[in-house]
Chains A and B, each alone.
Chain A
Amino acid sequence: MSFSADVKATLHLGGALCKGLGALSATDRARISVGASIKLAGSVNVDAALKTSQPNAALWDYVVGQKQSNKECLHWIEVHPASGTGNIGEMDAKLKWLAVWMRTTPLASYPRQIVWIASGKSAFNSRHPALRSLANRGLRFAGGHLALAA
């Protein structure tokens, strides 16, 4: 089992694997810092890869693979506005879609974190009950920046 092999084995993602954070737009890439000791296994723009097959779905943005000593883990990343309560419902819909879709792929077997990065100013701080509710469903709000560390 490897991230690259399992991406290739996933319907519609086969040709979408990029090196490092290459699947992310330059703007979104700037929101992520990668520690010096971190080795990435590649990234996929999930939204772009599935847009044609699922045009009306609340698609998730990206998955990034990270190599660890004896396994790999995945960061499921959505860059999305956090400017109002409407965004909470949107993120919840995306999270539901991700949970259902992920189960149909070999990528479900990896350790993971699921992260929302705010694409602009945030109307929420980490004490907001809606963010706590999303955490209870597996989603972490990272504010405007995500640091990938060992």
Chain B
Amino acid sequence: MKRMTLKNIGQIQEADLRFGDLTVLVGPQASGKSISLQWLKLMLDTGLIQDQLHTYGLDYGGKVHDFLDAYLGEGMHSVWQADSEVHVDGKRVEVEKKIARQQRNKSESAFLIPAQRVMTLANGWPKPFQSYSPGDPYAVRSFSDGLRMLMEREFAGSGPLFPQSNRLKADYRKLLQESVFGDFKLTVDKVQSQKRLVLGAGGNHLPYMVWSAGQREFVPLLLGLYWLMPPGKVARRGEIEWVVIEELEMGLHPRAISVVLLLVLELMSRGYKVCLSTHSPQVLELVWALEALRKHKGCADDLLDLFEVPHSAGLRDMAKAAVGKISKVYYFDPAGTAKDITDLDPASAEAQEASWGGLLEFSARANETVAKVVANSPEFASGDLFAEGK
């Protein structure tokens, strides 16, 4: 899929999204970013989703509204109206017909890491699909179940989940150790017979609920990345081509966000197409830099300099693959339209592009306020501000 157009779906009047290797959606709350990402997953994985809902006893009777309540979550059927339309690569999709009939392809093409990922480990262990309420969004249930399978199939043995020598490059592990985990190791222990994830250091084991907010947000994301980056020489998992991550920055310090962004580049270098929604200007700063490197023939070393990471062979290979990738940025406005702001020119006459979809508005106003106060101050008037050495 290269293009998806949504019309009159929920708050979206029209969103015409042309995907890059990296596509980023920005905009205020409830402007349609998450709905768009879930429709992307639905269009790519209809058969799998239908099959999974049937398997776990969710009977939507072939009706689109009941299906959307099961897929998007309780009450969300209302996003689909009489004049709603979905187009994929320019062709209108007969959504009602598609939902009414079980689609053949049941392999997963898009892996979605939802914004609510912190809930998947609420008890310290990923919950199975059927343990959620029927009204919970499919994205959360499916992600949680995927983590459960990962834990059961690939981490049944002893030893820490992080750091682990055959998961992620050593450079990433070191960076994550510094920015997220400190001296802690992510391991599995048991309370009576119940397994749970803990962070351990010096013989002390901390359960999930006492981790820092950033660690609680990051661990489900890390496990998702483990799923997408299998051990060994395999670049990608199964038939997955798309990775969708909602708000990867949640709970994280900017240094940790940088490491997660490096891992996003790693995903892209492995051939995944990545779609993100974000409220972080740092994510757009990466896009800004990537597009400049692509247009002005920057190199892998330039990209690694952006992250202040070693120019090791592994990271250079990743950066070489990532530096030529195409990015797209869309701003979802509260009026229901999505605007391409990929140029991200702070001098653009288009206010939403200049403010990077509103993410720079406050910093621009802070600069304005400071400049105004200083320009009218006695220090400016006396010239003290410009004295030698200042």
Point out residues on A near B: beta carbons under 8 Å. 82, 95-96, 99-100, 103, 108, 111-114, 118, 120-122, 124-127, 131-132, 134-145
Task: Decide if the interface of chain B is mainly helix, strand, loop or mixed.
Answer: helix
Residue pairs across A and B with Cβ atoms less than 8 A apart, 17 shown, are: A95-B386, A99-B383, A100-B386, A108-B381, A113-B375, A118-B347, A120-B347, A122-B346, A125-B346, A125-B356, A125-B363, A126-B366, A135-B366, A144-B345, A144-B349, A144-B354, A145-B351
- Given the complex of chains A and B, what is the CA–CA distance between A75 and B35 in angstroms? 44
On whether the beta carbons of A136 and B374 are closer than 8 Å, the reply is yes
In the assembled complex, the CB of A54 is this many whole angstroms from the nearest CB of chain B, namely: 17
The 8 Å CB contact of B347, one of A103, A113, A122, is A122
> How far, in whole Å, are A10 and B363 apart by their CA atoms in the complex?
36
Query: Once bound together, how far apart are the Cα atoms of A103 and B364, in whole Å?
Result: 28
Contact B380 A99 (CB under 8 A): yes
Give every chain A residue within 8 A of B55 (Cβ-Cβ): none
A103:B370 contact, CB within 8 angstroms: no
Contacts of B386 in A (CB 8 A): 95-96, 99-100, 137
Residues of chain A within 8 A of B364, CB atoms compared: 126, 143
Q: Which residues of A contact B363 (CB under 8 A)?
A: 125-127
Identify which of residues 324-371 in chain B touch chain A, using a CB-to-CB cut-off of 8 Å: 344-349, 351, 354, 356, 360, 363-364, 366-368, 370-371
By a CB distance below 8 angstroms, the chain B residues around A126 are 346, 360, 363-364, 366-367
Contact A112 B375 (CB under 8 A): yes
State the total of A-B contacts with C-beta under 8 angstroms. Answer: 95
A-B pairs with lowest CB-CB distance, top 9: A144-B347, A138-B375, A122-B347, A140-B371, A118-B347, A126-B364, A138-B374, A122-B346, A135-B371
B380 and A138 contacting across the interface, CB-CB below 8 Å: yes
Q: Is B372 an interface residue (CB 8 A)?
A: yes
Q: Which of B349, B372, B383, B385 contacts A140 (CB 8 A)?
A: B372
Q: Give the complex CA separation of A112 and B376 in angstroms.
A: 6
Interface check B160, CB cutoff 8 A: no
| Contact between B345 and A121, CB atoms less than 8 A apart | yes
Tell me whether A113 and B383 are in contact (CB under 8 A).
no
> Is B214 on the interface with A (CB-CB < 8 A)?
no
Closest Cβ neighbor of B390 among chain A residues: A137
Closest Cβ neighbor of A121 among chain B residues: B345
Pairwise interchain contact B385-A138, C-beta atoms closer than 8 A: yes
Besides A113-B372, A125-B356, A135-B374, 19 more A-B contacts (Cβ < 8 Å) are A96-B386, A100-B383, A113-B371, A113-B375, A114-B371, A118-B346, A121-B345, A121-B347, A125-B360, A126-B364, A126-B367, A127-B285, A135-B366, A137-B385, A137-B386, A138-B374, A138-B377, A141-B367, A144-B345
B368 partner residues in chain A, CB cutoff 8 A:
113, 135, 140, 142
Residues 236-272 of B contacting A (Cβ, < 8 Å):
none
User: Does B281 lie at the interface of the complex (its beta carbon under 8 Å from any beta carbon of A)?
Assistant: yes
Please report which residues of chain B, range 257-293, place their CB below 8 angstroms from some CB of chain A when the two chains form the complex: 281, 285, 288
Candidates B288, B348, B371; contact of A143 at CB < 8 Å: B348
Complex-state Cα separation, A138 to B375, whole angstroms: 4
User: In the assembled complex, which residues on chain A have CB atoms less than 8 Å from the CB atom of B349?
Assistant: 144-145
- The interface centre, meaning the residue of A132, A136, A138, A140 with most chain B CB atoms within 10 A of its CB, is A138
- Nearest residue in A to B363 (C-beta to C-beta)? A126
- B134: shortest Cβ distance to chain A, in Å? 44
Instruction: Report yes or no: B354 in contact with A135, Cβ–Cβ below 8 A.
Output: no
Q: A96-B386, A125-B356 are in contact. Are A134 and B371 (CB under 8 A)?
A: yes
In angstroms, Cα B366 to Cα A140, docked, is 10
In the complex, what distance in Å separates the CA atom of A114 from the CA atom of B385? 15
**A120–B366 Cα gap in the complex (Å)?**
23
Cβ of B347 and Cβ of A139 under 8 Å apart? Answer: no
Which chain B residues in 3-54 approach chain A with CB under 8 Å? none
Which residue of chain B has its CB nearest to the CB of A131? B367
- Asked whether A103 and B371 contact (CB < 8 A) given A122-B345, A127-B360, A143-B346, the answer is no
**Is A99 touching B385 in the complex (CB atoms < 8 A)?**
yes
| Cα A41 to Cα B346 with chains together (Å) | 29
Complex: how many Å from CA A140 to CA B372? 7
Contacts of A108 in B (CB 8 A): 381
